[in-house]
Amino acid sequence: MDTVLPSVSPIWPRRSPRIENNAPNETESVGPSIPAKNKRFFLAVILSNISTFCFGVSVGWTATAEHAVLNGKGYDFTPTEAEWTWVCAILTLGAASWCLPMGILMNYYGSRFVILSQLLPYSIGWSLIVCARDEIWLYAGRFCLGMCGGGLCVAVPVYSVEIAQLHQRGAAGCVFAGAVSFGVIYSFIQGEFIKLKITNILNFCLMWLCLLVIFVPESPVFLARRGRMEKAEAVLHWLRGKDYDVRQEMRMLAVDTSRSTTNIRGHFWARFKRKQTRRSMCRASALLILQKLSGGIIFTLFVPHILQHLNIARLWIMMTFALQIIGFLVCVFVVDRIGRRTLFLVASIALFFSALFLGFIFEMKSYTGLLSAGSLVSLCIFMGAYAAGLGPLAWLINVEIVVPRMRPFVCSVSATLNWLTAFVLIRWYSASYQNFGPPRIFFLFSIMSLVSCIFAMLFLPETKGLTTQQIMKKLKGLMNSEEIATIRSSTDASSS
């Protein structure tokens, strides 16, 4: 089902646009006489992230279901603790296996189609969990739910970034990680008050909410890449308002998707000869690997274990959730004001010190008095800093530093490495918790947070308010030339 778009007179010429080798006037004013209306843009961001929220519910399910399942209250069978750790970890393998296929699918059919298609693995996954007869059913169900998450982590950040204006791009791209966090929080609250069997059925029924994405249009960047400029123009009018002047955005779309920017007429592998492509892919992959190595996935899946080990009442988990929400809101409201790098650096430093303190607490094995209170504060700081910094910003920057033509491939490769890293971490944490305690892994989180900070200072450009051309200049790739192709239409000439 296609979204019904408003009928507008095309401002883009039906014939191919003229490409002129003139330096772009980066200070050229967009100059819309009527400001953009953001209601439909906000609606598109929210509806496209409903599936992400549902995936967050799936991620948080193991933390809330563990007690019931391991005590024989959830199913007719009782898995061992070792089998349960595989139930937790196998979701990441499902996600890693699905990223590249979904990247290929997104290249041909667009991010909106990929988001909608994740209903299939989501419904299969929860069906298997609801009807599970043994641990194999749980493995298969969790693997399918991971597949759903793998497709979403490739498509949703790309979609959010590509439908946003420059001054809204940061906030829109960060909603993905926030939606996952809200899903985890919802899952925990649900598990505290509702029996597991009913919870599983309710989670399966959430799939109907995911169908709401059919009411949003496809990304205008994807439509421009496919040469459907008039449809891209109509989508921009749908997002900004029918009276909004979209000529400048159309010009930017044409440049970003032109041959001079992405070499779209060359062989696929020939694009990797471009320095900007190689650098973007390496930096995006390293960024998402560091995101997982900083420990956010462990705190998400095993926070009840950590609180229990610290002799902190389970009720205090609500404080960590509150800090997550605050951190996410801080990120959304300041990322387009102070910039990505500044927020990233501050949050990484906070992660370093909080994880380091937790590692020392576990090493000393002293969980009483001020040390117990300090460990709770450190845990809350970690959760808040991760939600404000490395968690959402990694997915945002992963999209921004890649040219549109290469986003499906590069973002799927970096996401695959991200989930494989998560699998290794979960297996390591499970082994360390049983054998020699968790302090070493918390020291790893601290070190990796510091490495992330250094990596951002040395290799990540500030992308706030920059076009793809300007970001490529900072990466010193193909766009680092004095003459960059710009596209002018006959409409522009007539209006000047």
Same domain, 278 and 210: no
For the chain, what is the domain count? Answer: 2
Task: Let me know: does 400 contact 463? Beta carbons within 8 Å.
Answer: yes
Statement to judge: residues 405 and 474 lie in one domain: yes
Residue 237 belongs to a domain: no
Domain assignment present for residue 43? The answer is yes
Q: How far apart are CA 463 and CA 288, in angstroms?
A: 17
Same domain, 287 and 167: no
Query: Which CATH number does the domain housing residue 390 bear?
Result: 1.20.1250.20
Is residue 199 located within the same domain as residue 294?
A: no
Position 381 in a domain:
yes
Residue 357 lies in a domain: yes
Q: How many CB atoms lie within 10 A of CB 77?
A: 14
Residue-wise pLDDT tens for the chain (496 aa)?
Answer: 455 454 444 444 443 344 344 334 433 444 445 777 889 999 999 999 999 999 999 999 998 898 899 988 889 999 998 899 899 999 999 999 999 999 999 999 999 999 999 999 999 999 999 999 999 999 999 999 999 999 999 999 999 999 999 999 999 999 999 999 999 999 999 988 999 999 999 999 999 999 999 999 999 999 998 889 999 999 999 999 888 888 888 888 887 766 444 444 455 565 666 776 788 899 999 999 999 999 999 988 888 888 887 878 778 888 999 999 999 999 999 999 999 999 999 999 999 999 999 888 878 766 666 777 888 899 999 999 999 999 999 999 999 999 888 899 999 999 999 999 999 999 888 877 655 455 678 898 999 999 999 999 999 989 999 888 888 888 764 433 333 333 333 333 333 3
Residues 193, 300, single domain; the answer is: no
pTM across the whole model: 0.86
Residue 115 lies in a domain: yes
Judge whether 441 lies within some domain: yes
Residue 20 in any domain: the answer is no
Domain identity same for 209 and 356: no
CA distance 98 to 104: 10
Residues 6+ apart with CB under 8 A from 128: 137, 138, 140, 141, 144
Of 168, 185, 216, at which residue does a domain stop?
A: 216
CA separation for the pair 119, 125 (Å, rounded): 10
Which range of residues forms the domain containing residue 52? 39-216
322 and 417 belong to one structural domain:
yes
Do 305 and 200 sit in the same domain of this protein?
no
Residue 124 lies in a domain: yes
CA-to-CA distance for 211 and 439, rounded, in angstroms?
A: 43
